[in-house]
Amino acid sequence: MNTMPHDKGHAAADQLTQSEERYRALVTATSDVVYRMSPDWKVMSQLDGGSFLLDTGEPIDNWVEKYIHPEDQQKVYEAIEIAIRTKTIFALEHRVLRADGTLGWTFSRAVPLFNEQGEIIEWFGAANDVSARKQTEQDLQDAKDAAEHQKRTYETITSSTPDLIYVFALDYTFSYANEALLAMWGKTWDTAIGKRLIENGYEQWHADMHEREIDQIVATKQSIRGEVAFPHAVLGRRVYDYILNPVLNAQGEVEAVAGTTRDISDIRAAENTLAESEARFRMMAEATNIYIATSDESSNATYFNQSWTKLTGRPQKDLLAYGWVDLLHPDDQERHVKVYEKAFKAHKPLHDAFRVLNSEGEYRWLLIDGFPRNYMDGSFAGFISAGIDITELKEDEQRKNDFISMVSHELKTPLTSALSYVQVSKKRATEANDTVTAGMLERTEKQLGKMTRIINGFLNVSRLESGKIQIDAQRFDMAELMEEVKEEALISNTGHQIKFGYTKSIWVNADREKIAQVIQNFISNAVKYSRPNSTIQVRCKLVDGKAQVCTSDEGIGINHEDLPKLFERFYRVKDSEMRNISGFGIGLYLCNEIIKRHDGDIWAESTVGEGSTFYFTLPTVE
Ligand code: ADP
Distance from the CA of 370 to the center of ligand 1, in angstroms? 28
Q: What Rg do the C-alpha atoms of the chain give, in angstroms?
A: 55
Distance from the CA of 581 to the center of ligand 1, in angstroms? 10
Residues in the chain: 622
Q: What is the pLDDT of residue 576?
A: 57
The mean pLDDT value of the chain amounts to 90
CA-nearest residue, atom 21 of ligand 1: 525
- Give the C-alpha separation, 182 to 178, whole Å: 6
pLDDT exceeds 90 at position 205: yes
Is 0.75 surpassed by the pTM of this model? Answer: no
In the chain, the percentage of residues whose pLDDT exceeds 70 is: 97
- Give the C-alpha separation, 226 to 214, whole Å: 13
- Give the C-alpha separation, 160 to 90, whole Å: 53
pLDDT exceeds 90 at position 369: yes
pLDDT exceeds 90 at position 130: yes
Question: Which of ligand 1's atoms lies nearest the C-alpha of 567?
Answer: 6
pLDDT exceeds 60 at position 4: no
Ligand 1 site, CB within 6 A: 525-526, 529, 553, 555-556, 558, 566, 571-573, 578, 583-589, 612
Q: pLDDT band at residue 169, thresholds of 50, 70 and 90?
A: very high
Distance from the CA of 460 to the center of ligand 1, in angstroms? 17
| Over residues 315-334, mean pLDDT | 94
CA-nearest residue, atom 7 of ligand 1: 587
Distance from the CA of 400 to the center of ligand 1, in angstroms? 23
- Bigger pLDDT: 218 or 467? 218
State pLDDT tens for residues 53-73: 999 989 999 999 999 999 999
Q: What is the pLDDT of residue 222?
A: 96
Q: pLDDT band at residue 1, thresholds of 50, 70 and 90?
A: very low
DSSP codes of every residue in 411-471: HHHHHHHHHHHHHHHHHHHHHTT-HHHHHHHHHHHHHHHHHHHHHHHHHHHHHHHTT----
Q: What is the pLDDT of residue 564?
A: 87
Distance from the CA of 585 to the center of ligand 1, in angstroms? 7
CA-nearest residue, atom 16 of ligand 1: 573
pLDDT exceeds 70 at position 405: yes
Q: pLDDT band at residue 8, thresholds of 50, 70 and 90?
A: low
| Over residues 146-169, mean pLDDT | 89
Rounded to 5 degrees, φ, ψ at 105 are -115, 145
DSSP codes of every residue in 30-84: H-SEEEEE-TTSS-EEEEE-TTTS--B-S-BS-HHHHHB-GGGHHHHHHHHHHHH
Q: What is the pLDDT of residue 316?
A: 92
Comparing 79-83, 356-360, 470-474, 581-585, the range with the smallest average pLDDT is 581-585
pLDDT exceeds 50 at position 463: yes
Closest Cα partner for 175 from 206, 214, 230?
214
Q: What is the pLDDT of residue 159?
A: 83
| Over residues 387-395, mean pLDDT | 94
pLDDT exceeds 60 at position 35: yes
CA-nearest residue, atom 3 of ligand 1: 583
Distance from the CA of 463 to the center of ligand 1, in angstroms? 21
Work out the angle between the directed axes of helices 587-596 and 435-465 (0-180°, nearest 10).
40
| Enclosing H/E stretch for 121 | strand 120-129
